[in-house]
Structure 1
Amino acid sequence: MPPLRHLLRAGPTVLVALTALLMTLLPVQALAADRGEWAPYVAYSVGDIASYAGRAYDCRQSHTSLPGWEPPNVLALWLERSGPPPVDTQAPSTPSQVTSPAKTYDSVSLSWGASTDNVGVTGYEIFVNGGTSASATTSGATSVTVTGLAANTTYTFTVKARDAAGNRSAASAAYSTTTPARPDPDVQAPSAPGNLRSTGVSGSSVSLAWNASTDNVGVTGYEIFVNGGTSASATTTGATSVTVTGLAANTSYTFTAKARDAAGNRSVPSNSVSATTTGPQPSGSRVIVGYWHNFDNGSTNIRLRDVSPKFNVIQVAFAEPAGSASNMTFTPYNSTVADFKADIAYLKSQGRKVLISIGGANGTVHLDDATARQTFVTSMQSLIDTYGFDGMDLDLEGSSLSLNGGDTDFRNPTTPRILNLIQATRDLLNRNGAGFMLTMAPETAYVQGGMAAYGGPWGAYLPVIHALRDRLTYLHVQHYNTGTVMALDGRAYAQSTPDFHVAMAEMLLQGFPVGGNTSAMFPALSPEQVVIGLPSSPQAAGGGYTTPANVQKALDYLIKGQSFGGTYVLRKTSGYPGFKGLMTWSINWDKFTNFEFSNSHRAYLDALP
């Protein structure tokens, strides 16, 4: 949850001392790279030094900067430093073994052996036919596809490596290859999808399936049309099933499907099928999820059994690694194991759910190989069996989740740390049965931030959410401790505002292009899976606190389509009646402010139809 939350009430002297201690603990490279004045849309690496407002900052985590993520605003990425930056004058080594693994009539894919550098290689530049300016660049990957070439033409390529200080290596050995002749255009459309049918309904969604189409080259996806509409309401990338979300309750809809190929040819429509959503969800079915501190951070202590009944789901924070980054442990704070187990059983007897949350700002979890994955599964299952938790919550922050270079498709991740987390979580879900809950509490950079940029921390939760969406109970992104974030309308919105909460939530309810690539759309989640994460009081987080009145303005618009006159305009003007509720950090801070959060929002949610 919020970085440095244990010391939010500490004085300036303590915070200065903590900053000095963090400086001594950061990994030190042989030579840091001075990147000059901080700017948005720049790729920064660990150890880079940037200036902002007359101060120098060390980069703590590789990332691509965005407006609103200035160094003083994002402590997870930057740490203020003292002293002048060192100067890097050493160029990287020369790239080796340039070759082409694939080519088309208008492009050539290249790969090469990585260069080395005394600080670090930040990217490569590719030169065509001895040109003096680069025709393509990378941000660290040792492969690239050069496009816009002519068919049946010979090209010669060289590669140079560069570092953060602007030093460039000597050019690689030249590599020549000839593009093939241009193929005949594909004008044949796929066959129509067969036997479109409904496989399930809810109050806000209809699940559909169909028989696969065929094509002379290959089917690349399907588009679903609702009530004869001219634009697709849902798409797939080859799968022959989909769930159309964001529908109105107790309403009949008619669906058709079309297949498409890589050339943009579309089939004639499938047969049509009608389905009716179920009635509205009953009053009181919306949830408030709250995090309970297993430590004293100056808010207040609450025995677990005394948590207010206004909270439906209680997240015990946190299980943290000990001995290794994958061995999860938990010891009740100020309680015996027997008493803590009894408290959990008592809450469960009231029909409430108690989950164990993993990680937090201080609990760095790494599952880098099969051994670490098994250690994680074994240690987590032991905690679940010992205390009788109803589920698990993934609250992974910092370096716990980050995309490796070259991992560019959230649908097919390649980063071992992410693949092992997905498999370990799936193993625990399968061990504990269909009723075992899975929730996630990522920061905005790791989810919505993936629309503007995909790599490093940006969008790093997306492959995890996507792979586990069939078992995901609630996703409650932290709408706090963040800068401005770009929404579906292309505008950046600031935390603490109704516009921000509506815009960030609708990105999950509509889906969005990952890394700005419309061919890599992150599919929408069901409204019943989406919860907004908020601080319960101004003291609970460094930024993002929103008054109950403004939260409820956002919910009125998001759930009922009742606009408050803000800048952001809902894509679905009628709203999302199935939207599930709110999450807060934290229950303890809520008590500190006489339960302002849970009292006001419980009454509001229960009054909804």
Structure 2
Amino acid sequence: MAVCALAASGLLAAPAAVSAAPTGAPAAADPAAAAAPGAGAGAELPRHALVGYLHTSFANGSGYTRLADVPDSWDIIDLAFGEPTSATSGDIRFSLCPQSECPGVESEEEFKEAVRAKQAQGKKVLISIGGQNGQVRLTTSQARDRFVSSVSAIIDRYGLDGLDIDFEGHSLSLNAGDSDFRNPTTPVIVNLISAVKSLKAKYGPDFTLTMAPETFFVQLGYQRYGPGQWGGDPRAGAYLPVIHALRDDLTLLHVQDYNSGPIMGLDDQYHHMGGADFHVAMTDMLLTGFPVMGDRDRVFAPLPPEKVAIGMPASPQAGNGHVPPSEVNKALDCLAKGTGCGPYQPHGTWPRLRGLMTWSINWDRFNGGEFSGNFDRWRSGTS
């Protein structure tokens, strides 16, 4: 979630354009009267929801916030982060920030009480796995099984509602020859899908599942997917098979529209961070669908708008790509209402677009609550 090495290393420099036109993607739809198929616990969220990450296991310049002190604006609270004992162990550990780093940190019992209090208010509290430093590569079935048991132990210990997958860096990549996102063969991909399905089966339909991939792992798949015939970064588009396989189990996908290089949209133009158009173009790809690597026989199908939120930094200090409230509202109004759109014209209007995700609750409080306050005003004025 912090500044990403992908953008800094130049890996997101603009590749050669593909010839496929956006007409190769299926048309978008927003059946207002129908619930999202397989939405599970997502159906219990407000029509427009706010998701935020809470710095729970570490300290930084934003200051520590106790779970009990998280403002009511936040509908999903992602506890950052559960991390593995080693990249390939699958053994995920989570603990509260040490008192030496976070003066005023609550006790474990106080924390558990705060979880129950938030749930009583209708909030969801999830364990987020990964982050910038938590590399997770489930290379073996043993690591897969250990992931399931260790994540279950965290959920059970604190009485949490589910899981957020925030795999970054080198956690997900595709092996040579693994070229069809609908039928993945790479062990780290296959084992992750299997592990999450096991968790969903264990906890049932109320299990909340969210994902926070970077644009490199999702929208870049319109142009590049894995190492390819001529080589390339094997991480390109590597989240697509995970999202596709779990779309019926998924509560919410909120791609990180920040710390990103230029990404080609469905208009075959490159879009850059810094304004509403980037968020509109990136979100339109999820809601409209797109041919992976321009192959119209391999189309990543659109997600229901109820399962999509836009990921943004909460403040200028939180990450590259922060935009002021006016640009946030332009993006939301364009996608949800069809008004105020800029140069990029989306392929539909989605009144049931779920909302926003941000890094982070702490940075928003540091910035005077500007991000959450603005979203509260926007959704209060949206039917």
TM-score in same-fold range (> 0.5): yes
Q: Is the 8 A contact 2:53 2:359 kept in 1?
A: yes
Q: Give the C-alpha shift of residue 346 in structure 1.
A: 1.2
Q: Give the C-alpha shift of residue 233 in structure 1.
A: 8.5
Q: More helix by proportion, 1 or 2? A: 2
* Residue from 579, 584, 589 that aligns with 2:363: 589
Give the structure 1 partner of residue 64 of structure 2. 301
Give the structure 2 partner of residue 329 of structure 1. 93
Amino acid across the alignment from 1:330: F
2:356 pairs with 1:578: no
Distance in 2 of aligned mates of 1:330 and 1:458: 29
Distance in 2 of aligned mates of 1:358 and 1:437: 14
Q: More strand by proportion, 1 or 2? A: 1
Give the structure 2 partner of residue 450 of structure 1. 221
2:22 pairs with 1:2: no
Q: Give the C-alpha shift of residue 480 in structure 1.
A: 0.3
Q: 1:412 to 1:608 in 2, by over 3 A?
A: same
* Residue from 264, 269, 288 that aligns with 2:50: 288
2:293 pairs with 1:522: no
Q: In the comparison of the two structures, how many residue pairs are matched?
A: 351
Runs of 5+ in structure 2 lacking a partner?
Answer: 17-22, 35-42, 98-104, 227-233
2:197 pairs with 1:421: no
Distance in 2 of aligned mates of 1:596 and 1:68: 36
Distance in 2 of aligned mates of 1:366 and 1:372: 8
Give the structure 2 partner of residue 156 of structure 1. none
Q: Give the C-alpha shift of residue 250 in structure 1.
A: 5.2
- Structure 1 residues 527-536 or 554-563, which shifts more? 554-563
Q: Give the C-alpha shift of residue 283 in structure 1.
A: 12
Q: Is the 8 A contact 2:25 2:290 kept in 1?
A: no
* Residue from 146, 165, 171 that aligns with 1:375: 146
Secondary structure (helix, strand or coil) at the match of 2:293 reads: helix
Deviation by residue 1:321-368 (Cα, 9 ceiling, x = unmatched): 115531000011133322211111111111111000000000011110
Q: Is the 8 A contact 1:248 1:576 kept in 2?
A: no
Distance in 2 of aligned mates of 1:232 and 1:488: 10
Distance in 1 of aligned mates of 2:287 and 2:219: 12
2:364 pairs with 1:601: no
Q: 1:4 to 1:298 in 2, by over 3 A?
A: farther
Give the structure 2 partner of residue 67 of structure 1. 14
Q: Give the C-alpha shift of residue 300 in structure 1.
A: 1.5
Q: 1:405 to 1:556 in 2, by over 3 A?
A: same
2:188 pairs with 1:411: no
Q: Is the 8 A contact 1:283 1:607 kept in 2?
A: no
Q: 1:366 to 1:562 in 2, by over 3 A?
A: same
Give the TM-score normalised by the residue count of structure 1.
0.55
Deviation by residue 1:168-189 (Cα, 9 ceiling, x = unmatched): xxxxxxxxxxxxxxxxxxxxxx
Amino acid across the alignment from 2:237: G
Secondary structure (helix, strand or coil) at the match of 2:191 reads: helix
Distance in 1 of aligned mates of 2:130 and 2:33: 40
Q: 1:408 to 1:444 in 2, by over 3 A?
A: same
Q: 1:233 to 1:373 in 2, by over 3 A?
A: closer
**What is the CA RMSD across the aligned residues, in angstroms?**
2.4
Q: Give the C-alpha shift of residue 58 in structure 1.
A: 8.1
Percent identity for Structure 1 against Structure 2: 46
Q: 1:562 to 1:466 in 2, by over 3 A?
A: same
* Residue from 533, 551, 575 that aligns with 2:328: 551
Amino acid across the alignment from 2:181: F
Amino acid across the alignment from 1:538: P
Q: Is the 8 A contact 1:474 1:529 kept in 2?
A: yes
Give the structure 2 partner of residue 45 of structure 1. none
Runs of 5+ in structure 1 lacking a partner?
Answer: 6-56, 70-230, 235-243, 252-280
Secondary structure (helix, strand or coil) at the match of 1:540 reads: coil
Q: Is the 8 A contact 2:30 2:304 kept in 1?
A: no
Distance in 1 of aligned mates of 2:293 and 2:194: 25
Secondary structure (helix, strand or coil) at the match of 2:50 reads: strand
Q: Is the 8 A contact 2:24 2:290 kept in 1?
A: no
Deviation by residue 1:576-600 (Cα, 9 ceiling, x = unmatched): 1111100000000000011000011
Q: Is the 8 A contact 2:28 2:347 kept in 1?
A: no
Give the TM-score normalised by the residue count of structure 2.
0.87
Deviation by residue 1:480-506 (Cα, 9 ceiling, x = unmatched): 001111000100110121111111001
Secondary structure (helix, strand or coil) at the match of 2:170 reads: helix
Give the structure 1 partner of residue 315 of structure 2. 537
Give the structure 2 partner of residue 11 of structure 1. none
Give the structure 2 partner of residue 486 of structure 1. 264
Q: Give the C-alpha shift of residue 453 in structure 1.
A: 0.4
Higher RCO (Cα < 8 Å, 6 or more apart): 2
Q: Give the C-alpha shift of residue 285 in structure 1.
A: 2.4
Q: 1:506 to 1:342 in 2, by over 3 A?
A: same
Distance in 1 of aligned mates of 2:89 and 2:213: 19
Amino acid across the alignment from 1:504: M
Q: Is the 8 A contact 2:25 2:289 kept in 1?
A: no
Amino acid across the alignment from 1:467: A
Which structure has the larger Rg over C-alpha atoms?
1
